[in-house]
Structure formats: C-alpha cells, structure tokens
Amino acid sequence: MDIAKFIDHSILKPQTTEKDLEEQIKRCIGLKVYAVCVHPYWVKRAVELAGGGLVVCAVVSFPFGMDTKEQKLFQCLESLERGAKELDIVMNFSALKSGHLPYVREELLAIGRNTEGFVRKVIIESGYLNEEEKKLAVELIAESGMEFVKTSTGFSFPGATEEDVKLLYSASKGRLKVKASGGIRTKEQALRFLSLGAERIGTSATFDILS
C-alpha cells in the first residue's frame, strides 16, 4: 500500500519557522505526500511552496475549538481565499460537553453551508469525549454536510486510538470519512488505522513513517 497518498503531514508546532516550512514541504512533495496541514498564517506561503505538488489544508480554531462561530467562519473563508483546499476545523467540544447542542449544531451548519466545494474535516478531540458524546458529534457533523470526522488535534492525550477509529467508522455509517490523527508515529500504526476504516492519516512523523 502506498501510505503517502493517505497522509496529511502536520506542520503545526508553534516554534515552526519559515525555513522549517520550506524544508518540510519540499520533502513532502518528493515523497508524494497527499497534503500538508498548516496554521492560517502560513497558508499563503505553503500554497506558493507547494506549487500544486500537494494539497494545502488549513487548521481552524486550533487546537481548542473555542473561538466563536463567527471567528471560525472568518478563519475558514480567509484560509480558502489564500489558497487552502481543505480545512481541519476543531469542533467546540467544550460546548458539546456542556450540552449546548443548538450552538454546536448551528456553528457546524454555518461553516458547512459557507464552504461547500472544499474538503472539511471536523476534529472532535475524542480523548475528551465519552462514547455517547462521540456518537453525538458524528451525528452533528454528518448533519452539517461535511466530509470527515477527525479523532484529535495531536495536542491532547491519547490522540488516535483503535477503539475510537472503529467507533467513528461504525457511527458514521458511510456518511463521513474518518481521519486518524494524534500519536501516529510508525508505519505499522498507520497501516493499522487504515485497515480499521480510516481514509486519512494525520501525523508530524511523516518522514519516519515513509523512511
């Protein structure tokens, strides 16, 4: 299996420099990685560096998801204007856990209807949610018309787990694709998540996995 075509390479550490960005995107193009994920600040430069050689994905409200829906929507639209083709949007899991479901629903619907035509992945930070909350998150994301549910930002514990990928894949019932992300550092892990139904792998350990 050509794992590279399933990888979203993350360049999201706060200490990332422009030189880091340039070097990593160059390596990703050489390895034929599918996409690179960057903060909104770096989207325009990443698009210039990628030159069509790989997809640029912008993270939105990363990593906590607690910007307002208006702020999130602005981040989405600005990132798309700057050339991003995909969005990894952190769901407001604090609002979800607080029972503010109408707010979470409207936020997802507002983003969904204003970003049609692009690939949207919603990060639920599964390590913070119980099983019922994870299933509820899947329903809300599916209702919003977005394409993916994503396990984690990679900035929380435990990140992607086999149990969560199985649960999200089952709960989605073919309506959403699953992106496994968080703590994936080996080829064996990546292959295992793909075998469980994930269709995209988010990792910053791309070069180790593909070495």
Residue 72 a catalytic site member? no
Task: Assess whether 179 carries a catalytic annotation.
Answer: yes
Active site residue 88: yes
Catalytic residue among 72, 150, 164, 177: 150
Q: Is 150 helix (H, G, I), strand (E, B) or coil?
A: strand
Which alpha helices (DSSP H) does the chain contain, by range?
A: 18-31, 43-50, 69-81, 93-97, 101-114, 131-144, 162-172, 187-195, 206-209
Active-site residue among 69, 88, 121, 177? 88
Q: How many CA atoms lie within 13 A of 25 on its CB side?
A: 26
Q: 203: closest CA among 22, 45, 12?
A: 12
Which amino acid is it at 11? I
Nearest to 163 by CA among 200, 201, 193: 193
Catalytic residues: 88, 150, 179
